Homo-oligomer: A and B are copies of this chain.
Amino acid sequence: MTKRISFTLHATDGAARTGVIDTPRGEIRTPAFMPVGTAATVKAMLPGSVRETGADILLGNTYHLMLRPGAERVARLGGLHRFMNWDRPILTDSGGFQVMSLAGLRKLTEEGVTFSSHVDGSKHHLTPERSMEIQRLLGSDIVMAFDECPALPATEDEVAKSMRLSMRWAQRSRDAFGDRPGHALFGIMQGGVTRDLREESAKALTDIGFDGYAVGGLAVGEGQVAMFGVLDYAPGFLPEDKPRYLMGVGKPDDIVGAVQRGIDMMDCVLPSRSGRTGQAWTHRGQVNIKNARHQDDPRPLDETCGCPACTGYSRAYLHHVFRSGEMISGMLLTWHNLHYYQQLMAGLRDAISSGTLDAFVAKFHADRAQGDIEPL
């Protein structure tokens, strides 16, 4: 019999927590950042390189994978891990969020959502039950409940109505998921920026009972101040002994602030997407490598970084290959960004373990306040 996924909290520092999610496919050290592998690949990276950056788990997108190559096909080929050559844990989203963003192309009912594929225009139907089936076919280790996330701006009434639909879908997700040792099901809290709705949503989810809980409906344009406002109270509504996952976050300072507020897991396309557009994240802030000031600069992107881009190449080279449209530009910058993100997570985990998170966060902000590197 396969062992169950478990979460062990090792230390706390204020609201911040560090621990380990233990799965049959390996440990996930928390706080964890999950690189996004939308279409069964973390763009511009080989899986072995993603692992080298320190990632314990990837996120896969149900919406994209159900349309291409198709969940049944992935299952016939041995599941998503084997398909994409990543044998560690994978969390899949439910498809809900991405379907919701297909404004105009979708129709929402109590039963679920009907929508048209962005790939070929074909019609699809997604329900809590079908989402659970797809995530099972993919072989996901951590499955997300199917939810709705209203587009902003939305009135409090609309947010409440949507949240209650998501809670009914959470129950249907739980029922459809059943009991699958070795696999976890996470519920998703909604409720926008309204405290009462967040509390109501948390209560509904904990009454159903999940292996972990996500804070959904944030990082959708409300801004960092509003997001942190919700994170000041929302994680406290959730069980202490289960992982808390903030979906779709974020920039490095978003991540630091979320961890300070008790978040254990995050995911975002930002490090890989920025890497492909010439943006790099460093301990001294963001660098735009296409800027002409880099064209004669023999220094690395970040002198404190041990990634292949920083140990092997100058800013001048990275500038040159970006301007020349060479693939190595996206490959090296993505690797750097993912490495930087994982180093940040490792630093946060160590600081929480040793009770020095405040000092770590102060240094994080002080380094960035210096701005990027001195002029040559």
Q: Which residues from chain A sit less than 8 Å from chain B, CB to CB?
A: 39-41, 43-48, 68-69, 73, 76-78, 83-85, 295-296, 298, 308, 312-314, 316-317, 320-321, 323-324, 326-328, 330-332
Contacts and interface: CB of A to CB of B under 8 A. Distances in A.
Contacts of A323: 68
A73 B316 contact: yes
Contacts of A85: 312-313, 317
6 contacts: A39-B326, A44-B327, A44-B328, A46-B331, A68-B320, A69-B295
What 4 pairs between A and B have smallest CB-CB spacing? A85-B312, A69-B320, A41-B328, A44-B327
A331 B321 contact: no
Contacts of A48: 308
Contacts of A330: 327
Given A46-B308, A296-B77, A83 B324 contact: no
A155 B330 CA distance: 46
A314 B41 contact: no
Given A83-B317, A314-B83, A327 B77 contact: no
A69 B322 CA distance: 11
A41 to B, nearest CB: 5
Nearest to A332: B46
A354 B246 CA distance: 63
Given A46-B308, A78-B298, A83-B314, A321 B68 contact: no
Q: Which of A68, A308, A320 is packed against the most chain B CB atoms within 10 Å?
A: A320
A298 B84 CA distance: 12
Contacts of A78: 298
Contacts of A41: 321, 326-328
A332 B83 CA distance: 14
B317 A68 contact: no
Q: Which of A39, A40, A78, A328 is packed against the most chain B CB atoms within 10 Å?
A: A328
B46 A328 contact: yes
Contact of A73 (B76, B296, B321, B332): B296
B43 A316 contact: no
Given A73-B295, A295-B73, A43 B313 contact: no
Contacts of A312: 47, 85
Nearest to A297: B77
Given A313-B85, A314-B77, A40 B320 contact: yes
A43 B326 contact: yes
A166 to B, nearest CB: 30
Contacts of A296: 73, 76-77
Given A69-B295, A77-B314, A327-B330, 16 more contacts: A40-B320, A41-B321, A45-B328, A46-B331, A46-B332, A68-B324, A69-B320, A73-B296, A77-B296, A77-B317, A83-B314, A83-B316, A83-B317, A83-B320, A85-B312, A331-B331
